Amino acid sequence: MKKITIIDCYISSERVLSKLESMLNMLKNNGEDVLLMSNTTIPPHIQKLTNYSFYDENNRLFQDEYEDINLLDIWKSGSDIGIHELELSFQRHGLSVIINMFRCLEISKSLGYSHFQKLEVDDLFGPESIKHILNVPSLCVEQNKKALFYYNDYNNVKDFSFHYMFCEIDYFLNTVPVIRNESDYQNYLIKKYGKKKFAIVEQFLFDGLNGLDNQNILYRNGKETMSIDFPDTNFNSETTECNISPKFKGCSSRIYRCKNCTPSESPAILTYNYRGGPCTRTIVQSFNDGTTKTLKHSIPDKGHYTYNISNPNLEKISVFDDDKLLYEEENKSIDSWIEFFIF
């Protein structure tokens, strides 16, 4: 067995660059070989921390129209709150992710590697999690498996996690349909579903490896075992604005159901900054009795948020950037929700 670690990273900010550097140093200190692929230029000091680096200026995104797009839970957490922002999971950047993955595997195979593990750059792994990662190849050998994947099951839609995976390269390339461009992906969807029913790359990978019926895979339930195998990891420490609608202009102000708010049944209005730099939103609340109330949300930088608890009589919100109306959102059939942590 000759293993390589694959990281596909879009270096969108200095903060992401810092996390990438920390991850590469961690892998280097543990004797891991690394192939880094990016659709953003890779600074020389980062290249020196890798064994191989590949830069492609073409950031391929899904462009066409698709059907039956499921909801994506864009999950974030703060010191006292869990934020679940539900958006249509039209994963525009997913095309680049899957194309780059096949490219990385073909390069790795040509360099003599037999197995790979793939990590997400915004997952901050602690020492106990590193021990688990280093032990995964032995787990697979002991149980005569070619791969280890974590699976998720949300509203009866199953997929494989991209936070961590380990697999034999030849087995992956010989089993999963190879995707080179958007036409390949559409042909796959039509063959599987009979129409262009959109599937996120996590679901594509799950289906491509024959779901939970594959005897060559060591399965781990993401909900039940991820926190056990990675007890000191902070997952999803970065959330990109490409997952949200362009109407938000990188900063979403939305109505959220609140699981443990007082008074009961009161929705929350939360603004989250996905972009770099400050963001200000003026939010006009309209109530069922015809009255209104205005909020001003100022968020200093990416990854910051602020919120207010409204009341059950909220009818809708109108969200303004300066004096320009961006969009309105009605307080009905709200999918997004927040929960306050109780310590």
The answer, yes or no, to whether residue 131 has pLDDT greater than 60, is yes
CATH topology of domain 3-71+90-229: Spore Coat Polysaccharide Biosynthesis Protein SpsA; Chain A (3.90.550)
The answer, yes or no, to whether residue 241 has pLDDT greater than 80, is no
Q: Counting beta carbons within 10 angstroms of the beta carbon of residue 264, is it exposed (0 to 12), middle (13 to 18) or buried (19 or more)?
A: exposed
Tokens of 311: 């009341």
Alpha-carbon Rg for the chain in angstroms: 22
Instruction: Please give the C-alpha separations between residue 3 and each of 22, 114, 332, in angstroms, as whole numbers.
Output: 20, 6, 50
Q: How confident is the model at residue 255 (pLDDT cuts 50, 70, 90)?
A: very high
Q: How confident is the model at residue 68 (pLDDT cuts 50, 70, 90)?
A: confident
Q: How confident is the model at residue 270 (pLDDT cuts 50, 70, 90)?
A: very high
| 340 CB neighbour count, 10 Å cutoff | 15
Place of tokens 């109505």: 255
Span 14-39, pLDDT tens digits: 889 999 999 999 999 999 999 999 99
What mean pLDDT comes out for the span 285-311?
Answer: 94
What mean pLDDT comes out for the span 99-123?
Answer: 96
Lowest mean pLDDT among 84-98, 121-135, 139-153, 196-210: 84-98
The DSSP call for residue 276 is S
Q: If DSSP states are collapsed to H, E and C, what string results for 223-265?
A: HHHHHHHCCCCECCCCCCHHHCCHHHCCEEEEEEEECCCCCCC
Say how far apart CA 223 and CA 243 lie, in whole Å. 22
For residue 12, what pLDDT is reported?
83
Domain residue spans of the chain: 3-71+90-229, 244-340
**Beta sheet of 305-309, edge-to-edge order:** 71-77, 81-88, 337-340, 251-258, 268-273, 305-309
More confident residue, 88 or 209: 209
- Tell me what percent of the residues of the chain surpass a pLDDT of 90: 71
Give the architecture (CATH level 2) of 244-340. Answer: Sandwich (2.60)
Q: How confident is the model at residue 253 (pLDDT cuts 50, 70, 90)?
A: very high
Lowest mean pLDDT among 24-38, 58-72, 134-148, 314-328: 58-72
Say how far apart CA 216 and CA 36 lie, in whole Å. 27
Residue-averaged pLDDT of the chain = 92
What mean pLDDT comes out for the span 329-337?
Answer: 93
> Residues near 117 by Cβ (< 8 Å), separated by ≥ 6?
3, 4, 5, 6, 133, 136, 164, 165, 166
Q: What is the DSSP string of 91-129?
A: -TTHHHHHHHHHHHHHHHHHTT--EEEEE-TT-B--HHH
Phi, psi angles (nearest 5°) of residue 159 = -155, 170
The answer, yes or no, to whether residue 155 has pLDDT greater than 80, is no
The answer, yes or no, to whether residue 343 has pLDDT greater than 60, is no
The answer, yes or no, to whether residue 230 has pLDDT greater than 70, is yes
For residue 340, what pLDDT is reported?
86
Say how far apart CA 10 and CA 80 lie, in whole Å. 29
CA angle centred on 173, ends 19 and 28, rounded to 5°? 30
What mean pLDDT comes out for the span 176-205?
Answer: 94
